[in-house]
Amino acid sequence: MQTECSAGQLAFGEVSGRRIVADFAGGTMTSDAGALLLGAADRAIGLTERFARCFTDARAAHLVEHDIRALVLQRVAGIALGYEDLVDHDHLRHDPVLAILAGKLDARRARCAPLAGKSTLNRLELSRAEPGRYHRIKHDPAAIEGLFVDIFLDAHRAAPGQIVLDLDATDDPIHGHQEGRFFHGYYDRYCYLPLYIFCGRHLLASKLRPSNIDGAAGAREEVARIVGQIRRRWPRVRILLRADGGFCRETLMAWCEANRVDVLFGL
């Protein structure tokens, strides 16, 4: 986040006849220089560019200061740097490093910052599958879900002989009175219960769910979607599905047996 500096100087005495002075007139500074490495990785795999293509912008083009790609990149980079809250972007919109990543050091219009504030980013996060009068940005849920798997597939030059898909559900603690708030006995707290599917270090699916459900709820549908997408690219790959006892359910195991997916579940 951009440093707020004082123009004054602080004197710390002398050492060997030389004055020690702290001067805060360093100009525009940032504590987020590590984001430049994130930008290099993003350009290598085209993550935010491909993610932005999952959205459609129905706003009047001549009035748009911050396009979809810049909004997506700003939000993704902000989360990666530890700024989860949208309110942080009222300061981050002036951050020079994030502006470099967005390729936009100056705003096109007067009285605008190079990057978007919390209100504009909020319109992106509240986008719907179809645009409305007050929601002019729409997203394609299927395209977003498929992007995770596409990036995983693109990371391989050739199809492997076997892959292992790991299923997991864990707690996402809730500290307020958010919608879908329920108490979970195992985790002994109010939380959500998201579903994750990984292949090694690659995240293939992340589903936010309330915690008043079976931990395996929706797993069969997500596995079917991901396996189908993988086999369209790698028709001969052997797939092993691995999970703990919370996923040992007849419907999931029966689907795996009928679709040539090996299973390794706890009991």
Q: 214 or 62: which carries more pLDDT confidence?
A: 214
Predicted pLDDT of residue 4 = 60
Does this model's pTM top 0.95? My answer is no
Radius of gyration over every alpha carbon of the chain, rounded to an integer in angstroms: 24
Pairwise CA distance, residues 176 & 183, whole Å:
12
What does the pLDDT look like over 159-205, one tens digit per residue? 999 999 999 999 999 999 999 999 999 999 999 999 999 999 999 99
Residues of the chain above pLDDT 90, percent: 72
Q: With beta carbons less than 8 A apart as the criterion, state whether 205 and 148 touch.
A: yes
Predicted pLDDT of residue 5 = 54
* Range with the poorest average pLDDT among 30-44, 198-212, 214-228: 30-44
Where exactly are the structural domains of the chain? 35-139, 141-265
Cβ contacts of 106-109, under 8 Å, gap ≥ 24: 107/65, 108/65, 109/65
Predicted pLDDT of residue 1 = 56
Residue 132: CB partners within 8 Å, gap ≥ 6? none
- pLDDT tops 70 at residue 3: no
**Among 173, 183, 195, which residue's Cα sits nearest to residue 246?**
195
Q: 158 or 14: which carries more pLDDT confidence?
A: 158
Q: What value does the mean pLDDT of the chain take?
A: 91
Predicted pLDDT of residue 199 = 98
- CATH class for domain 141-265? alpha beta
What does the pLDDT look like over 94-148, one tens digit per residue? 998 999 998 888 888 888 899 999 999 999 998 888 888 888 899 999 999 999 9
- pLDDT tops 90 at residue 226: yes
